[in-house]
Amino acid sequence: MTEANPLEEEKKSLNFIEAIVEKDLAEGKNSRKIQTRFPPEPNGYLHIGHAKAICMDFGIAQKYNGVCNLRFDDTNPSKEDVEYVDSIKEDIQWLGFQWGNEYYASDYFQQLWDFAIALIKNDKAYIDEQSSEKIAEQKGTPTQAGTESPFRNRPVSESLELFNKMNSGEIAEGSMVLRAKIDMASSNMHFRDPIIYRVIHHPHHKTGTSWKAYPMYDFAHGESDYFEGVTHSICTLEFVVHRPLYDWFIDELKKLHPEDGEYRPRQYEFNRLSLTYTVMSKRKLLQLVKEGYVNGWDDPRMPTLCGYRRRGYTPESIRNFINRIGYTKYDGIIDVALLEHSIREDLNYKAKRVSAVLNPVKLIITNYPENQTEMMEAVNNPEDENMGSHEIIFSRELLIEREDFMEDAPKKFFRMTPGQEVRLKNAYIVKCTGCKKNEKGIVEEIYAEYDPMTRSGMPESNRKVKGTLHWLSEKYSYPAEVRLYDRLFLVENPNEDKEKDFKELLNPDSLQILTNCRVEAELLSAKPYDNFQFQRLGYFNVDPDSKDGNLIFNRTVSLKDTWTKIKDKD
């Protein structure tokens, strides 16, 4: 056992959370137990940002022989729905993770209620009957201390009685809340008597109408961690300011549970994922779906996990991406190119290449016999011989990509142009002899002559030509309905007003899309799949029998920061 190398390698790549976990383990904290949780609120679909949290929460558990449970933070029934519960579970599994137990914060409503009662009895919580405006006003500002509520020192018995009423249905929403009695002058706004219970009459997706008073996040999250035995409660940076309150409640809880000894959950925070050109706010994504700007949460333009899935992203590529970007406390913006690199890398290795012509123009091989056909062999994946090959029918009248032809070509144009030889992939070398244009000057047919000695595999076929084009036989190809997606999500311009950009996006008259980016397409319907191949490098990452096929064209056009206004997109 002299190889200390792998271990050292691992040590080097530790992120700061892992370093903390290892330290805790070394110090014997929480009896050397590791337990995490992934705590989504079921109020939307998971997006790529959640993937980062998932990889962290589940990753830590995996790496240190702990457990990671799934816990739905369902303390606000007015926003939540079972539809979201189901999609969240599906997406986590698709990403490649499996939770230990499935919990709900609502499982703890009774325990939380009892805890709240205990706080009231200890004079650490009280019922406030002021309006939300009044309470906000008394809260002060970050630089100005708050003032105490006139209800702050009401008798315990009164609070107890009103708290029960809050849950009985006789109290209207908004007319009464339970507040923790902490410190209205604290420099931490969250300590200024935070609201811990409010009244909501909307039925809960799990508990129905049995509760009317619901705990707030701050009063439910740490407590749920505690009830479950979570040791490392990992979340994003915006919760840093909540941590003192998290600890305050845990302290109170521990006073009631001396039997729990040294155990306590601790919160750690890492930087949230933001991606260039990508809208990540749940609120905005919800708006895009609800108002019909996209076809649903899994619209391929959405940055949701199901959107990426439908677009052809693999779970491996997303995990690799997350691995690459790391976890720190620095709030940066990741270049989406890194994500795209991850999917290209993965697909290059595993995707089967097939043929398709998107924007066809007819190519006639004038010296090829009228009714002759030949079967040409096409390798499925040049990166992997084991993937085999398939056949494509060659004939006199072909289709090629319109942009692969230029009548007057510049020097660096290596594709079809009069007088220049190009190879038709898997077939012959041909030389363009001219074209026919209509009265508007649009090219209708292109003519070329083939060299019979240059069929793939023949000795002459080794002749060097600069360009290789993909093609289909006009007669032996099938139409497919393909919808193109340019990158839709703009935003990202650190100095600009993102909110304004978003409004622009929603305005159909000035729908901004980024041009010059890789074209991505969704195959809506396709007959036999071998007849599709893509521009230059076509990636086809889909079960051929699946109706929900996805295509990714790897055009590798460089991403430019140029915006173009396009109307009537879609």
Q: Which of residues 174-233 bind RNA (CB under 7 A)?
A: 174-177, 187-190, 195, 198-200, 214, 216-218, 221
* Tokens matching residue 530: 């071998």
**Can residue 132 be called a binding residue for RNA (CB under 7 A)?**
yes
**Can residue 237 be called a binding residue for RNA (CB under 7 A)?**
yes
* Tokens matching residue 457: 């595999």
Q: Which of 353, 390, 396, 487 binds RNA (CB under 7 A)?
A: 353
Q: Which of 32, 124, 154, 272 is catalytic?
A: 272
CB 134, min distance to RNA, A: 8
Site for RNA in 149-178 (CB under 7 A): 173-177
Instruction: Collapse the DSSP code of 413 into the 3-class scheme (helix H, G, I; strand E, B; otherwise coil) and give the result.
Output: coil
219: part of which helix (H) or strand (E)?
helix 217-228
Site for RNA in 33-92 (CB under 7 A): 39, 41, 73, 75-76, 78-79
Q: Which of 22, 94, 111, 130 binds RNA (CB under 7 A)?
A: 130
CB 51, min distance to RNA, A: 14
Q: Which of 63, 89, 282, 350 is catalytic?
A: 282
Residue type, 192: R
Q: Specify the residue, 453 or 547, whose C-beta has the smaller distance to RNA.
A: 453
Q: Which of 319, 396, 423, 487 binds RNA (CB under 7 A)?
A: 423
Site for RNA in 309-348 (CB under 7 A): 324-335, 337-338, 341, 344-345, 348
Q: Taking every pair of C-alpha atoms in the chain, what is the biggest distance, in angstroms? A: 101
CB 195, min distance to RNA, A: 4
**Can residue 400 be called a binding residue for RNA (CB under 7 A)?**
no
Q: Which of 290, 440, 464, 567 binds RNA (CB under 7 A)?
A: 464
62: part of which helix (H) or strand (E)?
helix 48-63
181: part of which helix (H) or strand (E)?
none
CB 423, min distance to RNA, A: 5
Q: Which residue has the tokens 């000894």?
A: 261
Q: How far apart are CA 173 and CA 198, in angstroms?
A: 8
Q: Specify the residue, 39 or 315, whose C-beta has the smaller distance to RNA.
A: 39
Site for RNA in 102-121 (CB under 7 A): none
Q: Is 272 a catalytic residue?
A: yes
- Which residues are paired to 533 by β-bridges? 355
The count of residues interacting with RNA (CB under 7 A) is: 95
Q: Specify the residue, 75 or 477, whose C-beta has the smaller distance to RNA.
A: 75
Nearest to 93 by CA among 263, 315, 275, 294: 315
DSSP 113-155: HHHHHHHHHTTSEEEE-S-HHHHHHHT-BTTB-----TTTT--
Options 252-260, 358-366, 454-462, 497-505: segment touching RNA (CB under 7 A):
454-462
**Can residue 470 be called a binding residue for RNA (CB under 7 A)?**
yes
CB 314, min distance to RNA, A: 16
Q: How far apart are CA 385 and CA 4, in angstroms?
A: 37
Which long-range contacts (C-beta less than 8 Å, at least 24 apart) are formed by 382-389?
A: 382/353, 383/348, 383/349, 384/349, 384/350, 387/352
Residue type, 53: A
β-pairing, 232-236 vs 266-270, is parallel
Options 45-53, 124-132, 364-372, 504-512: segment touching RNA (CB under 7 A):
124-132
Q: Specify the residue, 242 or 311, whose C-beta has the smaller distance to RNA.
A: 242
Site for RNA in 360-399 (CB under 7 A): 381-383
Q: Specify the residue, 167 or 188, whose C-beta has the smaller distance to RNA.
A: 188
Instruction: Collapse the DSSP code of 428 into the 3-class scheme (helix H, G, I; strand E, B; otherwise coil) and give the result.
Output: coil
Site for RNA in 497-526 (CB under 7 A): none
CB 156, min distance to RNA, A: 21
CB 137, min distance to RNA, A: 8
Q: Which of 32, 33, 41, 316 is catalytic?
A: 41
Q: Specify the residue, 31 or 462, whose C-beta has the smaller distance to RNA.
A: 462
Decide: 11 and 228 in contact? Cβ < 8 Å: no
For residues 521 to 560, the per-residue mask of contacts with RNA, x marking binding by CB under 7 A and - elsewhere, is -------------x-xxx---------------x-x-xx-
CB 93, min distance to RNA, A: 21
CB 372, min distance to RNA, A: 18
CB 567, min distance to RNA, A: 29
Q: How far apart are CA 560 and CA 361, in angstroms?
A: 28
Site for RNA in 430-449 (CB under 7 A): none
**Can residue 467 be called a binding residue for RNA (CB under 7 A)?**
yes
Q: How far apart are CA 460 and CA 344, in angstroms?
A: 33
The 10 Å CB-count burial string (b at 16+, else e) for 190-227 is: bbbbbbbbbbbeeebbbbeeebbbbbbbbbbbbbbbbb
Q: How far apart are CA 327 and CA 317, in angstroms?
A: 17
Q: Which residue has the tokens 């064209």?
A: 553
Q: Specify the residue, 65 or 556, whose C-beta has the smaller distance to RNA.
A: 556
DSSP 302-347: S-BHHHHHHTT--HHHHHHHHHHH---S----B-HHHHHHHHHHHH
Site for RNA in 274-313 (CB under 7 A): none
- Which residues are paired to 375 by β-bridges? 393
Looking at the annotation, which residues are catalytic? 41, 272, 282
